[in-house]
Structure 1
Amino acid sequence: MRKNGPDAAQLALNGLRVLEVGTGPALAYAGKLFSDFGAEVIKVESPAGDAWRQMPPMVCIPGAAQPESALFAWLNTSKRSVTADAGSAGDSAWLAQLARTCDVVLDARALTEGPVILARPVWSGNTGERQGHEPIEVALTWFGESGPYSQYAGAEAVCRGLAGAVHGSGPVEGPPHMPHDVQTAVVVGLAAFSAAVAALIGRAQGSRRYVLSVHEAIFSVVEMEAGLVPDKRHPLRRLGVNRFCGTHPAGIYQTSEGWIGIFTHTLPQWVALCEAIGRPELAGDPRFANGQERMARADEIDALLIPAFLTRTAREWFEILGDKKHPTVIVPTMAELLTQEVHRQRNAFVPVEVGGVSFEGPVVPLRLDAAGPLPGGSAPAKGAHNSLYRTSGLDHHPRLQLRRTSAGQLPLRGMRVVDLTMGWAGPLASRTLADFGAEIIKVESTGYPDWWRGANFTEAFYRDRLYEKNSNFNLMNRNKLGITLDLTRPEGKQLLLQLAARADAVIENYSAEVLPKLGLDYEALRAVNERLVMLSMPAFGLGNAWSNTRAYGGTLEQASGLPLHTGHPEGPPAMTSYAYGDPIGGLNAGAAMLLALFVQQATGEGRHVNLSQVEAMLPMAAPFILEQSVSGTVSPRLGNRHPMHVPHGCFHCAGDDAWIALTVTDAQWPALCRVIGREDLAADARLAQASGRRAQQDRIDAAITSWCKARDPEEAMRLLQRAGIAAGVVRPMSQVLQDAHLHARGFWRGVERAHSGMYTASTAWFRTGSEPMPIRNAAPTLGEHTEEVLTRVLGLSAGQIADLERMGITGKTAKPKSSKGVA
């Protein structure tokens, strides 16, 4: 454990003051990202305290009447707490004054009071008056400020269900798996933090106000599935626990000691697996030639693998398959995770203190070295800083004097980023910057285009330009420019160095050894541009024994240990149906890059950001890591039940595989009973509180199921929402693409593109006004902007550009892969 923290003066956000108003884990995580990088974060709680102070796991404090939440403490390290009564005019006026001393206001009042509350910013008090300095405002809503769901009661689980992030996971017969609220919170917290930092960077030209929809933000976790539907590659049904859409074997298997996670995608990986289990004859069997064929025979393959993996330990299989470059990881228990040397070397676990008791939680995974994050911290007691901010706190002058702008420009307009990423995680990170207005120059080669264009390199792939027709690629690469360069040749390498010399940042997600072999590592790029920010994002980070581990998004999920705490209590460890680690890695990488660019803007200094994508998954497992650290063990899986709210779950409705998600608080319980016609339950005093209902969960769930089974899920959602109960249809992805709310809001847009024709594109998860953010460019065709970029940015002549194409350094047509391509 790191003994000494960074110099506070060097922390990335030192000197900023942030007001955190509202409740919920998403808001708290956004604030945590600010406080752990040195900002003064003032958390506003009700006089009764934030409800999440009661969220398990709990810590017993010597001498205290009540235990404290370890999860709340981790979410609120290094913050300051004040209390304010929302119904008091005096408190509202004081909060307005306090807000005007802040650089950023994170506002989640709409999550409890409805989006109408956002019409009056915190700093305007009760008068609506706007004057002088106006902080940057990032507001969280469940479903946005417009559209059919805008007035719906929301919850993390309900938004996940409506966004398509529940239906695909779990047993074929159901019910689908519902993750812990924190997993949604981390995604939305990262989105809110990213919007705030982008706004700070572009404060001279960008909007002061960014409104986020939790529903739309959480969709980014399952966006890959949205691309599979129009391409007819989605099974349109739940395949079962640890059955990953499109390939097999890609799951978790018990060994003689521990669990092993594998992800077999390509034919060479299948060959390696067959050799490792002593069945080389299966490698050439045409029945297993590709992922879809193997998925069709998943039970047959598992019948071979289950006994084979029991012959060795997880560590032995990790080494055997790793040597064969097969994506393989140990799936650790929380006890094992906390002792893994690869994480200890990176100080991935830091002390968290509350009430004098210390335990460990995951570090914020955005690593900027001397600029942060802090190596842990203490959580404030409720209202601990009231006296400070009721008096001298109002005399503070914001670090940044922010005046309202015309908001005609995106905040990152004028910034240039060279994008050396492929697949999902890296392109999602660079797309985040693109959506905020940065110029993204995506570099591919004709011999090795982005593998999300397709990885089945048949004759038709090249002849019919199938690499231009993949919807996943189109979704992930909006608002970018695309060029081709062969980086294995001196001319291509030199052109990339020239681009880096004229860029603010470079982002890459190649295997760890690729850029050093090409002579294009950070030192080489920094030699041409000292202020350059570069971000690399291998599975376990750079510079450790596991840095070269091959990984997909599912591998990252396995390595976090999260599957051991996902799924129904009676079932096996369970992965999600999507490549969870990819979007989480991409969202963290985007936030880390924005933070590094903010520091670059302030200091003129460059840096190499070393992001571990497995480490980025650890906050998703925070409740379980914290419980292991606090108590030395982790409670059995709750399945679809909730640590605080009862009832909570996924309930079968009328129709084939039709489900609704709902979560009910004490205040909503009587209304639920009325809707389902069970006033007898409402009259039972023992059930008035969640603690009493917990003992009767089976009885309550049966009553809800009986009511739901007689109703279409859309009708059930409408009736429950009409009564103010957070409920939503558990939509399969095919329904998400047709969702009336998302269409009414313009979240889905038709975009015309060469070779693809018209396709459906998503839009950004934030808004600065009533309309969705613009799609300035469709995803680039291969090499589409090469001539424009080389002319405008590097000043090359038409003759020089023609020579490069003739030599094969550039081009617009994919060519069969050669051994010289970047891998």
Structure 2
Amino acid sequence: MQSKNQRALAGLTVIEIGNGAASAYCGRLLADAGASVTAVTMVGDPPTIVREQTDAEQAFSAYLSADKFVSDAPLELEAIQRLCRVADLALIGEDSNFSAFDVNPKKATVDLTWFGRQGPYEAWKGSDLVIQALTAMPHLAGPVEGPPLHAGDRHATMIGGVTAYIAALAAMLAKPTRVTRRLELSILEANLVVSEMHIYYVEQDGAPIKRQGVNRFSPHGPLGIYPCKDGWVGITATTPDQWKSLCIVLGMEKEGTDEKLATRQLRFERLDEVEKAMINALSVGTAEQWAERGRSHRVPIVVVPDAAGILSHPIFAARESFANLFTRSGLFKVPRTPFGLIKTPTRKTLNAMDGELIAQPGPSAHASQGGPLQDDLPLSGLTVADFTMGWAGPLASRLLADLGAEVLKIEAGRYPDWWRGVNWTPEYVAAKQYENTKHYCALNRGKCGISLDLTSPAGKKLALALVAKADIVIENQAAGVMEKLGLGYADLVAVNASIVMTSMSAFGTGNAWSGTRAYGSTLEQGSGLPHFMGSPGTPPTMAHMAYGDPVGGLYGCASLLTALFHKRRTGEGEYVNISMVESMLQFTTPALLQYQADPAAPLRRGTRHSLFAPHGIYPCAGEDRWLAIAVESTEMFASLARVIGHTEWIGDAGFDLAECRRRRHDEIDAAISAWTKKQEPHQAAAILQQAGVAAAPALHTEEIVKNPHLIAAGFFIDLIREISGPQRQAGVAIMQNGKRLGAHTPAPLLGEHSWPVLERHIGLERAAYEALVNESVITFAPASLRSMAQKPDDQR
């Protein structure tokens, strides 16, 4: 039996090569989970990722390097090659000049780049702002008149890093080969998970999505952040029942009985009026009081904590959501890796003071076991029992399908995936509109669809029989639902002692806030992240309508692969108790370090950056057209000055250093805007990138599927599905041996694969199957009596 505190990735050896925050964050996750990570740079690469010698910046660098063996000087190629020959994995940074083909670790390389190895953007300069602009995420956030708002520093690189972690673990779980498996990952493509829902809504509705203002996302109302007597609360009330319950909680009887406010669309049309009444009601109580009342009435209301509130949060304390980071300049608290592993927890203490380099790499010991490398998918042979619905859970299981796993999606006519629709009228069902929702189709490609009524003894028995043959179970139901169905972890272990079960809920299971009703918006609000976005004088500002969903899906997938690695090594299964709010909490790390280093420092800067200048989103020619620019060096600033016709700035001491430019940001911004207002954003970005300046058009959602770079890179998956027809879907950001991964079978119709799956996996006979169909244990259409009021509250 393994020790409870043994790390999941014990025995895994990793060489992290080169420079880049995304690769360093991937290495951070690997080290936290127990891998031995050695970070090196090659002669000629930048020696550090510290961008300026500030306490906060050095603390973040210490966070990324904690518990790694860290090189104190660049190495020659031959020395790095010797290190890699005895390692399992080589991880190559996005800002490195290193070639992945120069090393041959025993199992795999993971090669990160900003934009991939082919396409018009291949040689572009990348940054968090540039990546976000190309996902169209900023376009939907901020004031109607602009500028659009970026989510914040390090978000894009962290998403790239956790996606690289998924690629790395998939490679470690793949069949052994005689040659090194080569995986590549584009940070831009990894970040497009945040855009998927909007892409499919544009396709579904046939109309572009416009920016509606701070904390406003059409057609949802109310969905935002509101002041209380003390503090702020995040509220999302979209269904008729939630709206009525919210009005009861707030004492808004008049609004609760107004039929002209019955739907979210009607409320959005009168949102000024609705929010004024809400703010008036909220003013008599504290954020904590309103959140408690929301939980008691099953309404998605959460406290939106500021930096101090995050660090003292009672549920974060109960779940030990923070680790202690020991650095040479002191002790900091940082969000812990949010994998929720019960048997093999991630580190609670991070040491950034004692890293050292293995001075003399050992002799070559390249593995010779395994067969030749073919086109096998990394997770082929893995079976997943998938009880997820909505966005976050299905994204996690779709990533498994994209990487080669067999995913058995289990739903039922009485309770189908809520992304199939909301209007369960006889007419809706008869027209099979539940098979037409584009977001459902995209999030469930590559899966086998099984219909089982889990509330019936026969349906539960069949589900347990499938679990008995599975490697993994994943679910994102509201906390407690699986236990009520007799499908909790204890029930699953009884039929499969080594099962890995991953539960994804807002605040995790087993604590005072586990019953919190949540959407992706609730997860962002509850993490406190909005306190670090937007401009001074505005409310805490949300970056996305449902940011927590795609982010939670990525960390959910990473968590279960981590537990699976431990199972493959030891034979032990594990319960994975994920809090998706903690996944969002990762993005607060830079701001929390800044707050602890200097509590008086501003944490909200609009589109400006704490270090870089100029940095922002600038108006271009045309209606609501914008250009993102991120100048990260004096050399880059000189190139910008030449392009916009201000060569007098070059060599001027008043512009030479970033600190100087930050003081003159208004002056520089005015000059940049004077130039950009005359430019088309795509052409302007190309001109600046040609000059070596990190820039990109701030895309609108509808432009993503037409983006020439993504098309040239082969990112999209075009599928034709019965009933719903053709659809262009976002692909997976991971390539293997030069080929794009990703499942190419369309999402299942309800119950489409029930018979072949049950016959193949549990040996069900045809006569027994027909009896189950006749008894409505297996169905192929939703029950027509299900009403809108019965739509589940938890939309993740």
**TM-score, structure 1 normalization:** 0.92
SS in 2 for 1:180: coil
Q: Is 1:39 aligned with 2:10?
A: no
| Aligned residue runs from structure 1 range 406-485, under 5 A | 406-485=373-452
Distance 2:534 2:5 in 1: 44
SS in 2 for 1:282: helix
| Deviations 1:53-88 (CA, angstroms, capped at 9, x unpaired) | 3458616xxxxxxxx711112222211111454xxx
Which residue does the alignment assign to 2:708? 740
Distance 2:590 2:233 in 1: 22
Identity among equivalent positions (%) equals 38
| Aligned residue runs from structure 1 range 497-646, under 5 A | 497-632=464-599, 635-646=602-613
Which residue does the alignment assign to 2:157? 185
Q: Contact 2:221/2:237 (CA < 8 Å) preserved in 1?
A: yes
Distance 1:357 1:221 in 2: 35
Q: Contact 1:198/1:411 (CA < 8 Å) preserved in 2?
A: yes
| Deviations 1:563-582 (CA, angstroms, capped at 9, x unpaired) | 01111234221012330111
SS in 2 for 1:811: coil
- 1:199 pairs, out of 166, 171, 192, with 171
Which residue does the alignment assign to 1:81? 70
Q: Is 1:222 aligned with 2:195?
A: yes
Distance 2:12 2:719 in 1: 40
Q: CA deviation at 1:380?
A: 4.5
Distance 1:174 1:622 in 2: 27
Which residue does the alignment assign to 1:149? 121
Q: CA deviation at 1:624?
A: 2.1
The one-letter amino acid of 2:664's match is Q
Which residue does the alignment assign to 1:63? none
Q: Contact 1:224/1:578 (CA < 8 Å) preserved in 2?
A: no
- 2:344 pairs, out of 366, 371, 386, with 371
> More displaced, 643-652 or 528-537?
643-652
The one-letter amino acid of 1:20's match is E
Count of aligned positions: 787
| Aligned residue runs from structure 1 range 337-416, under 5 A | 337-355=310-328, 357-380=330-353, 385-386=356-357, 389-391=358-360, 393-395=361-363, 405-416=372-383
Q: CA deviation at 1:726?
A: 1.2
The one-letter amino acid of 2:163's match is A
> More displaced, 329-338 or 627-636?
627-636
Distance 1:690 1:351 in 2: 31
The one-letter amino acid of 1:802's match is E
Which residue does the alignment assign to 1:488? 455
| Aligned residue runs from structure 1 range 688-703, under 5 A | 688-703=656-671
Q: Contact 2:287/2:303 (CA < 8 Å) preserved in 1?
A: yes
Q: Contact 1:15/1:39 (CA < 8 Å) preserved in 2?
A: yes
> More displaced, 93-102 or 231-240?
231-240
The one-letter amino acid of 1:620's match is F
Q: Contact 2:342/2:574 (CA < 8 Å) preserved in 1?
A: no
Q: CA deviation at 1:299?
A: 1.3
Q: CA deviation at 1:121?
A: 2.4
Q: Contact 2:717/2:744 (CA < 8 Å) preserved in 1?
A: no
Q: Contact 2:524/2:530 (CA < 8 Å) preserved in 1?
A: yes
Which residue does the alignment assign to 2:89? 104
Distance 1:84 1:219 in 2: 36
Assess, with a 3 A threshold, how the Cα gap between structure 1 residues 533 and 567 changes in structure 2: closer, same or farther: same
The one-letter amino acid of 1:390's match is A
Which residue does the alignment assign to 1:321? 294
**TM-score, structure 2 normalization:** 0.95
Which residue does the alignment assign to 2:285? 312
Which residue does the alignment assign to 1:71? 60
Which residue does the alignment assign to 1:213? 186
> More displaced, 18-27 or 542-551?
18-27
SS in 2 for 1:441: strand
Q: CA deviation at 1:26?
A: 1.0
- 1:52 pairs, out of 49, 52, 73, with 49
| Deviations 1:122-172 (CA, angstroms, capped at 9, x unpaired) | 42xxxxxx6xx5441001111111111112222221111112222111111
Which residue does the alignment assign to 1:91? 76
Q: Contact 2:252/2:281 (CA < 8 Å) preserved in 1?
A: no
Distance 1:319 1:233 in 2: 40
Which residue does the alignment assign to 2:752? 784
Q: Contact 1:77/1:376 (CA < 8 Å) preserved in 2?
A: no
Distance 2:53 2:494 in 1: 50
Distance 2:180 2:377 in 1: 7
Gaps of 5+ in 1: 1-5, 60-67, 124-129
Q: Contact 2:127/2:694 (CA < 8 Å) preserved in 1?
A: yes
- 2:768 pairs, out of 787, 800, 803, with 800
Assess, with a 3 A threshold, how the Cα gap between structure 1 residues 92 and 99 changes in structure 2: closer, same or farther: same
Q: Contact 2:343/2:575 (CA < 8 Å) preserved in 1?
A: no
Q: Contact 1:57/1:627 (CA < 8 Å) preserved in 2?
A: no
Q: Contact 1:447/1:817 (CA < 8 Å) preserved in 2?
A: no
Q: CA deviation at 1:279?
A: 2.3
Distance 2:427 2:593 in 1: 51
Assess, with a 3 A threshold, how the Cα gap between structure 1 residues 56 and 499 changes in structure 2: closer, same or farther: farther
SS in 1 for 2:223: coil
| Aligned residue runs from structure 1 range 11-50, under 5 A | 11-45=7-41, 50=47
Distance 2:402 2:735 in 1: 11
| Deviations 1:527-563 (CA, angstroms, capped at 9, x unpaired) | 0000100000111111110011100010010000110
Distance 1:55 1:249 in 2: 41
Which residue does the alignment assign to 1:3? none
Assess, with a 3 A threshold, how the Cα gap between structure 1 residues 402 and 84 changes in structure 2: closer, same or farther: farther
Distance 1:473 1:19 in 2: 39
The one-letter amino acid of 1:522's match is Y
| Deviations 1:630-662 (CA, angstroms, capped at 9, x unpaired) | 445553412211122211111111010001111
SS in 2 for 1:704: helix
Distance 1:7 1:627 in 2: 36
SS in 1 for 2:50: helix
Q: Contact 1:188/1:218 (CA < 8 Å) preserved in 2?
A: yes
Q: CA deviation at 1:52?
A: 3.0
Q: Is 1:121 aligned with 2:118?
A: no
Which residue does the alignment assign to 1:336? 309
Gaps of 5+ in 2: none
